[in-house]
Amino acid sequence: RALTPAVGPARDVDGFVRQFLRELNYTQGVPLSRSTLNDQYLALARTVRHYLMQGWIRTGKRRRDAGDKVIGYLSAEYLLGRQLDNALLAAGLEDIAREAMKECGLDVDLLRSQEIEPGLGNGGLGRLAACFVDSLATMDVSCIGYGIRYEYGIFKQTFEDGRQVEVPDSWLALGSPWEFPQPDRAVQIDFGGHTERYTGDDGRERTRWVPAWDVQAVPYHLLVPGYRNGVVNTLRLWSAKATNAFDLQLFNQGDYAEAVRAQTFAENITKVLYPEDSTPQGRELRLQQQYFFVAASIKDFIRHTLPADFDLHRLPERIAFQLNDTHPVIAIPELMRILVDEHDFEWDEAWDVTKQCFDYTCHTLLPEALEVWPVDLLGRLLPRHLEIVYRLNEDFLARVREQFDGDEVRARRMSMVQENPVRAIRMAHLATVAATKVNGVAELHSQLLRDKVLPDFSEMWPDKFTNVTNGVTPRRFVRIANPGMSELVTEAIGEGWLTDLERLRELEPFADDAAFRERFRAVKAGNKERLRQLLHHRDGIDLPEGHLLDVMVKRLHEYKRQSLKLLHVVSLYQRLLSDEVDPESTTPRTVVFGAKAAPGYFMAKETIALINAVAATIDADERVAGRLAIAFPANYNVTLAETLIPAADLSEQISLAGKEASGTGNMKFALNGALTIGTDDGANVEIRQLVGDDNFFLFGMTEPRVAELQAKGYVPGDVYASSPRLKSAIDFLASGEATGGDPSRAAAVVDDLLSSDRFMALADFDAYVEAQEKVEATYADTEAWTRSAILNVARSGFFSSDRSMRDYLDRIWNVSARS
């Protein structure tokens, strides 16, 4: 008997039904007649999983046999979105599953909607990681995505009286059919204690770390199926488990709380995702999370993925660890420690290997988002790692002084150790020194990274810096999210574009085809209807029909300027109430917001409350009914994005220039035929270059202009005084007229805008309103608008994450001379 992987179920409706019933009866333990929706969902998910298993086993074997170099993507976040939809698509089982469920008297769409998405990320950075692993599987590149299996992902957002209230996201509560726990592959992770010098047998002075406590890291595998190529890569997510479950003596004495204290402490490490986006909290638990998952990943790779006798001097031939921002950067001293303390490498030898194993991606421009770890905290938790960083820093600063003539000021600027306000390790500096390549995530961002964030480093190592513009997976964000448009595209240009997205170019001539435009509009109208249905059932929101759908969805942050959008809404409201214009002549518009705020971010939460208060006021005002509406569905997530984005006409990308590293929502909208109103920031710059000025509404200051104004001293009060329309909107808000007569609702946001306005919303207001007027004029010309929308789709193929991955392969991972 050949001991090859067991064959999967037959790829037909009959085979699918049989497997489904087997799952329901033998795994869920219920007959169909007694099964709940959740039983049915779990059985369906496990059935689909069966079809992927052979590919997964074969992919693993093929990669091990070939000794491929592995991309070890190290990311504290993966914002995956629903797994079933993607698995069905990747396996090519959508039709079979639909038919099979029908035969069982079930509705596949209803079952799909049961899944709670694994929200193991905050926003852009986590979603990007999910897109990247999808692309690598689709391109058959060997990749292991390493991360954390949070028991609770990003919180579920609810509104109480318009204010955000966070509820735990218990995504595992009803069972998780997509993961494979591997408790027998657990590795021990140490913390705390002290270090000791000793003399080895060879007479060499060495150091050993004597830790004080440890936890077990248990890997859970998730499948990462490639699109219809039989490839299945792996996400390896780590879960913390106490080394000693509990103290039986204490338990028997009746001290139950104390008996489980150690267990609770250990297992807290992977309990919950930090909901902080952009402003890191220097919390000990977060550092524990970071070290926990990278230490487990490196140990596991060396122990379980490499052959037993592998010579670690050759490590760079087998692994490229990609550091997704600074969160996993503690992996650098960890690898040094393993090589020097555990494998007897000479220091320089170890550094030579370590440098070749890491590359670093920076995802931000905000100075407050650059992680630093106070040395007292780091020294307490990871004493050996702190010593290693100090030594690396000494060596590095010696080089700086040598190369730059003893320039002490420069050395202090570049140091991995900051002295004020507290002595702390600058993780971005450590990453930049160690990495072979450092990249930003859009052209402008990479430029600013070189010129403003890390200028000394780019002067020292100009070739270390590169750009890879972000991308999004067209499988999820076009094919799954927008089946109607996908079908239309395939009809027009044939198959194949989903894995070769530049082929969307072939749609260009169709922009001039009136019949095609008509069908394109019908698809958009269908998507809007689908959104109306969803919001009605999900949120009790009834969207008006026939409006321009204007959408701003992203994390709530001042630099993204939801407040600027809100001022525009207030201004539109005022215009409708005034006698200046005939309401009938204005474009009916519905503005949709979606945004979560970090729980401790005061101004962000005030902005949410304010948007909700204005929305309630406008929606209750009969005078503007049918002309202006605002909807703010709670809990914006990947699942909602998939229905919202394909319905949008207008994509709001209005961050202050020089602040948004890239943006990826902007790409999703363009690919789904929304036109962008946006500033010259992040990947907006590239979107505009590609789709053309005529198909993009640009406004606002450029980054150099922002810098100039900043330098000169920005006074928001002056802008307020000099712009009548702005003044009127702010006064209206401040008076309480836009918040049901209650001025206190608007106070915090208005005060901040008038007194500080850190992100210069007021300075861009007039330009924004003007650009919005152009939007209305263009929208009035239905054919011209549709033409632009089609051209947006046709010219956005560049933003496939497959292209991003090709760029990483060329510019970062494949570099033959990794020096």
Contact stretch for ligand 26W (CB under 6 A) within 271-279, 499-507, 609-617, 717-725: 271-279
Does residue 560 have an active-site annotation? yes
CA 385, chain centre distance (Å)? 28
Least distance (Å) from ligand 26W to the CB of residue 135? 14
Q: x/- binding map, residues 623-662, to ligand 26W, per CB under 6 A? A: -------------------------------------xxx
Positions 93 through 152 that interact with ligand 26W (CB under 6 A): 123-125, 128
Amino acid sitting at position 72: G
The helix (run of H) or strand (run of E) holding residue 197 is strand 194-199
Q: x/- binding map, residues 274-293, to ligand 26W, per CB under 6 A? A: x-xxx-x-------------
Least distance (Å) from ligand 26W to the CB of residue 163? 23
CB-wise, 388 or 598, nearer to ligand 26W? 598
Within 103-142, strands assigned E span 119-120
Does residue 664 have an active-site annotation? yes
Least distance (Å) from ligand 26W to the CB of residue 64? 31
Task: Name the maximum alpha-carbon separation found in the chain.
Answer: 92
Least distance (Å) from ligand 26W to the CB of residue 470? 5
Least distance (Å) from ligand 26W to the CB of residue 364? 4
Query: Token pair for residue 764?
Result: 């861009």
CB-wise, 660 or 686, nearer to ligand 26W? 660
Dihedral angle at the C-alpha atoms of 588, 594, 597, 602, nearest 10 degrees? 10
Contacts of 234 (CB under 8 A, 6+ apart): 56, 60, 144, 145, 221, 222, 223, 224
Least distance (Å) from ligand 26W to the CB of residue 324? 9
Per DSSP, the residues of 730-761 read HHHHHHTTTTTT-THHHHHHHHHHHHT-TT-T
Residue closest to ligand 26W when measured from CB atoms: 124
The sign one gets for the Cα dihedral 23, 27, 31, 34 is negative
Query: Token pair for residue 355?
Result: 């440098």
**CA dist 747 → 561, 564, 571, 603, 766 (Å):** 17, 15, 17, 11, 22
Token pair 């595998």 is found at 221
Of positions 221, 318, 363, 519, contacts ligand 26W by CB under 6 A: 363
Positions 659 through 718 that interact with ligand 26W (CB under 6 A): 660-664, 682
CB-wise, 123 or 797, nearer to ligand 26W? 123
CB-wise, 436 or 439, nearer to ligand 26W? 439
Positions 69 through 88 that interact with ligand 26W (CB under 6 A): none
Of positions 86, 216, 270, 364, contacts ligand 26W by CB under 6 A: 364
Positions 300 through 329 that interact with ligand 26W (CB under 6 A): 325
Least distance (Å) from ligand 26W to the CB of residue 684? 10
* Three-state DSSP class for residue 779: helix
Amino acid sitting at position 390: Y
Token pair 């990479």 is found at 446
Least distance (Å) from ligand 26W to the CB of residue 276? 4
- For the chain, helix, strand, coil in percent to 5 are 55, 15, 30
CB-wise, 276 or 506, nearer to ligand 26W? 276
**Catalytic annotation, pick one of 469, 664, 679, 786:** 664
In eight-state DSSP terms, residue 193 is -
Least distance (Å) from ligand 26W to the CB of residue 159? 24
Least distance (Å) from ligand 26W to the CB of residue 77? 8
Of positions 441, 480, 566, 640, contacts ligand 26W by CB under 6 A: 441
* Residues 374 and 280: beta-carbon distance below 8 Å: no
CB-wise, 140 or 276, nearer to ligand 26W? 276
Does residue 271 have an active-site annotation? no
* Residues 647 and 531: beta-carbon distance below 8 Å: yes
CB-wise, 325 or 652, nearer to ligand 26W? 325
d(CA 331, CA 321): 9
Determine the length of the chain: 819
Does residue 818 have an active-site annotation? no
**Catalytic annotation, pick one of 46, 363, 547, 795:** 363
Contact stretch for ligand 26W (CB under 6 A) within 239-247, 263-271, 272-280, 373-381: 272-280
Least distance (Å) from ligand 26W to the CB of residue 124? 3
Query: Token pair for residue 476?
Result: 């999820």
**CA dist 480 → 84, 296, 642, 673, 795 (Å):** 11, 34, 8, 15, 20
Per DSSP, the residues of 518-577 read HHHHHHHHHHHHHHHHHHHHHH---PPSS-EEEEEES---GGGTHHHHHHHHHHHHHHHH
Amino acid sitting at position 689: Q
Least distance (Å) from ligand 26W to the CB of residue 128? 4
**Catalytic annotation, pick one of 236, 560, 659, 803:** 560
**Catalytic annotation, pick one of 555, 557, 561, 659:** 555
* Residues 353 and 315: beta-carbon distance below 8 Å: yes
CB-wise, 336 or 552, nearer to ligand 26W? 552
* Three-state DSSP class for residue 631: strand
Query: Token pair for residue 403?
Result: 């190369």
CB-wise, 160 or 368, nearer to ligand 26W? 368
Contact stretch for ligand 26W (CB under 6 A) within 136-144, 221-229, 363-371, 398-406: 363-371
Contact stretch for ligand 26W (CB under 6 A) within 25-33, 361-369, 454-462, 749-757: 361-369
Amino acid sitting at position 207: T
CB-wise, 383 or 471, nearer to ligand 26W? 471
CB-wise, 276 or 500, nearer to ligand 26W? 276
470 lies in the binding site for ligand 26W (CB under 6 A): yes
Radius of gyration for the chain, computed over Cα atoms and rounded to the nearest angstrom: 27
CB-wise, 203 or 367, nearer to ligand 26W? 367
Contacts of 788 (CB under 8 A, 6+ apart): 675, 691, 694, 695, 778
Amino acid sitting at position 299: K
Q: How, if at all, do strands 232-242 and 143-148 pair?
A: parallel
**Catalytic annotation, pick one of 337, 554, 557, 803:** 554
Of the CA atoms within 13 Å of residue 733, those in its CB half-sphere come to: 30
* Three-state DSSP class for residue 242: strand
Does residue 555 have an active-site annotation? yes
Of positions 70, 106, 369, 729, contacts ligand 26W by CB under 6 A: 369
d(CA 664, CA 559): 16
Least distance (Å) from ligand 26W to the CB of residue 453? 12
Number of residues binding to ligand 26W, judged by CB under 6 A:
21
CB-wise, 23 or 277, nearer to ligand 26W? 277
Q: x/- binding map, residues 324-353, to ligand 26W, per CB under 6 A? A: -x----------------------------
d(CA 128, CA 147): 14
Does residue 299 have an active-site annotation? no
Q: Give the footprint of ligand 26W on this chain (CB under 6 A).
A: 123-125, 128, 274, 276-278, 280, 325, 363-364, 369, 441, 470, 660-664, 682
Active-site positions? 363, 554-555, 560, 664, 668
